[in-house]
């Protein structure tokens, strides 16, 4: 198929996989998949000082955790250096690139003068017609067209037109022989037959420059789509100041990969009012939805909402197997399963399961002092003592029967539910924060409940 859509995500491995990058990648990937196309991962590792193999690994792991599978092998920009240099030679040979030996002092002076005159700093083309040959201090510059303009129809932003006289004769090869970003991207996109470049709109200024290089190399430029950035809730570009920004940090916080994926896509893309999309639905509906043209603000509350929705949908056994691998106290047995089913609707993040289940897997060592001061008194201890006797003899250990035992004592003493319910909660869980107490007692089991009430009576008498 000639016209197969091919997109790519091209991160520089200089830091963690940022959720902004992950979202851009999702858009590039979903765009390709919703058009039955391919999406590739290209690691732009030409900045040797800042690129680190561990960052590349974290990027690969992050996508595999989110179940985003790129096509083919990972492509490394550094493997394509020969092609970058060959392309520049082709530009030199066709008079569309030239050697330049302007010193940094001259360029600094030029910039200062232009700024003084209120002009946009730009190389003045001094070496353009000099026909210099390569020297130890020369760079290669692109001969940007001087007339006309570059126009492109951005998938997200619509038609954009930039006059060529606003564009610099940018450097293609530095004096140390290393090719620059704009050149490498164009050559790699050509090499990989990329038809659609979906990337962050922080690159939009590079696009007309890259289009001119494509054209000079007699290649057809891809279609571009520039996705707005993610902002923090204060309206500033999302950064570490706002909290966790790495995909792996959300993984550690206990966010499910499906929830993060769904949330990141919805953050900047919509399909009517629908919020929840499974993996297949994202692929099938992406094409018909809308990518917003304005930046979206990241909200941890909204992400938690998505996560809670996903937690409530995941099959209990599957959830249990994930929790068992998380050092959460849960293991793959009946007891853990009943704890999980009891507390799951109280959990927004996977890590909440450890917090919410603490007293199911550990002895109650401390009691919440505020709750004790408020709800434990002589009457409470007496009621607990009576309840203890009832529960020792109860025929079946089911929440319904436990509830009946409590009610019997309540009606005998003509007091409200809280008079026993709250002291019982404190005795069994250490605080007043738990699922309904009859169900909690059922799951804890008779032996533990009796021991804990007994202990509480002794502590509080
Ligand atoms: N490597 C660039 C970056 O990480 C992206 C280049 C591109 O998508 O064209 O910002």
Local confidence pLDDT in tens for the 461 residues of the chain:
458 999 999 999 999 999 999 999 999 999 999 999 999 999 999 888 899 999 999 999 999 999 999 999 999 999 999 999 999 999 999 999 999 999 999 999 999 999 999 998 999 999 999 999 999 999 999 999 999 999 999 999 999 999 999 999 999 999 999 999 999 999 999 999 999 999 999 999 999 999 999 999 999 999 999 999 999 988 888 888 888 889 999 999 889 999 999 999 999 999 999 999 999 999 999 999 999 999 999 999 999 999 999 999 999 999 999 999 888 899 999 999 999 999 999 999 999 999 999 999 999 999 999 999 999 999 999 999 999 999 999 999 999 999 999 999 999 999 999 999 999 999 999 999 999 999 999 999 999 999 999 999 999 99
**What is the domain count for the chain?**
4
Best of 44, 186, 209 to mutate for ligand 1, by most ligand atoms within 8 A of CB?
44
As a whole number of angstroms, the distance between CA 15 and CA 386 comes to 62
What whole-number distance in Å separates Cα of residue 456 and Cα of residue 42? Answer: 62
Distance 181 CA to ligand 1 centre (A): 9
Q: Which of 227, 261, 281 is the last residue of a domain?
A: 227
Shared-domain flag, residues 193 and 130: yes
User: Is residue 93 domain-shared with residue 219, that is, in the same domain?
Assistant: yes
Q: For position 204, which CATH number holds?
A: 3.40.50.620
Q: Are residues 100 and 216 in the same domain?
A: yes
Whether residue 161 is found in the same domain as residue 300:
no
Ligand 1 proximity of 425 Cβ (cutoff 6 Å): no
Cα 8 to ligand 1 centroid, rounded to whole Å: 10
Output the pLDDT for position 2: 56
Phi-psi label, residue 167: left if phi above 0, alpha if psi -120 to 50, beta otherwise = beta
| 212 and 83 within one domain | yes
Nearest CA to ligand 1 atom 7: 10
CA of 87 to the centre of ligand 1 (A): 20
Give the closest residue to 263 by CA, choosing from 252, 247, 245, 277.
277
Same domain? For 68 and 93 the reply is no
Q: Which of 435, 404, 255, 426 is nearest to 339 (CA)?
A: 435
Cα of 308 from ligand 1 centre, angstroms: 33
Going by alpha carbons, the residue nearest to atom 3 of ligand 1 is 11
- Regarding whether 448 and 430 lie in a shared domain, the answer is yes
The response to whether residue 185 sits with its C-beta less than 6 Å from ligand 1 reads yes
CA distance 65 to 35: 23
- On whether both 207 and 293 belong to a single domain, the answer is no
Tokens of 30: 């979903």
Tell me: do 121 and 69 sit in the same domain. no
Query: 193 with 260, same domain?
Result: no
Ligand 1 centre and the CA of 10: distance in Å?
Answer: 5
What ligand 1 atom has the least distance to the C-alpha of 189?
Answer: 9
Question: Residue 24 CA: which ligand 1 atom is closest?
Answer: 8
Residue 36 CA to residue 24 CA, distance in Å, equals 19
Range of the domain at 425: 363-461
Judge if 68 and 87 occupy the same domain. no
Asked whether 222 lines ligand 1 (CB < 6 A), one says: no
Q: Are residues 69 and 84 in the same domain?
A: no
* Half-sphere CA count of 115, side-chain side, radius 13 A: 6
- Which residue reads 């959300």 in tokens? 250
State the distance from the centre of ligand 1 to the C-alpha of 186, rounded, in angstroms: 11
- Report the separation in Å between the CA atom of 32 and the middle of ligand 1, taken as the mean of its atom positions: 18
| Residue from 7, 8, 11 to probe ligand 1 pocket by mutation (most atoms less than 8 Å from CB) | 11
């Amino acid at each position: 198929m000639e016209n197969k859509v091919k997109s790519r995500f091209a991160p520089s491995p200089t830091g963690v996989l940022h959720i902004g990058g992950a979202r851009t990648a999702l858009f590039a990937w979903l765009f390709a998949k919703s058009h039955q196309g391919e999406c590739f991962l290209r690691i732009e590792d030409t900045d040797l000082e800042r690129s680190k193999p561990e960052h590349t690994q974290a990027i690969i792991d992050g996508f595999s955790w989110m179940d985003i599978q790129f096509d083919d092998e990972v492509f490394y920009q550094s493997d394509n250096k020969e092609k970058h240099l060959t392309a520049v030679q082709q530009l030199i040979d066709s008079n569309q690139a030239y050697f330049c030996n302007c010193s940094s002092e001259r360029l600094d002076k030029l910039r200062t003068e232009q700024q003084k005159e209120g002009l946009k700093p730009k190389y003045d083309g001094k070496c353009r017609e000099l026909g210099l040959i390569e020297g130890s201090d020369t760079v290669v510059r692109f001969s940007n067209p001087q007339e006309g303009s570059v126009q492109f129809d951005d998938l997200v932003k619509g038609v954009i037109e930039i006059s060529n006289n606003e564009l610099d004769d940018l450097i293609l090869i530095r004096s140390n022989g290393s090719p620059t970003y704009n050149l490498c991207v164009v050559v790699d996109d050509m090499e990989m037959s990329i038809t659609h470049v979906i990337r962050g709109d922080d690159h939009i200024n590079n696009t007309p420059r890259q289009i001119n290089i494509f054209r000079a190399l007699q290649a057809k430029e891809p279609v571009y789509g520039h996705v707005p950035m993610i902002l923090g809730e204060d309206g500033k570009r999302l950064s570490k100041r706002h909290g966790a920004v790495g995909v792996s940090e959300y993984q550690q916080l206990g966010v499910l990969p499906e929830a993060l994926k769904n949330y990141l896509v919805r953050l900047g893309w919509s399909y009517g009012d629908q919020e929840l999309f499974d993996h297949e639905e994202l692929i099938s509906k992406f094409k018909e939805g809308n990518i917003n043209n304005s930046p979206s603000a990241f909200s941890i509350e909204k992400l938690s909402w998505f996560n809670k929705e996903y937690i409530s949908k995941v099959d209990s056994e599957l959830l249990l197997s994930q929790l068992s691998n998380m050092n959460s106290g849960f293991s793959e047995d009946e007891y853990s399963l009943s704890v999980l089913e009891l507390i799951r609707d109280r959990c927004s993040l996977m890590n909440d399961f450890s917090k919410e289940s603490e007293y199911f897997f550990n002895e109650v060592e401390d009691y919440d002092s505020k709750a004790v001061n408020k709800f434990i008194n002589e009457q409470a201890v007496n009621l607990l003592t009576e309840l203890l006797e009832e529960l020792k003899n109860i025929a079946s250990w089911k929440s319904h029967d436990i509830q009946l035992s409590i009610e019997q004592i309540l009606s005998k003493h003509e007091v409200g539910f809280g008079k026993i319910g709250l002291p019982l909660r404190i005795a069994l869980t250490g605080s007043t924060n738990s699922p309904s107490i009859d169900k909690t007692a059922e799951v804890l089991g008779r032996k533990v409940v009796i021991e804990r009430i007994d202990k509480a009576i002794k502590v509080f008498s």
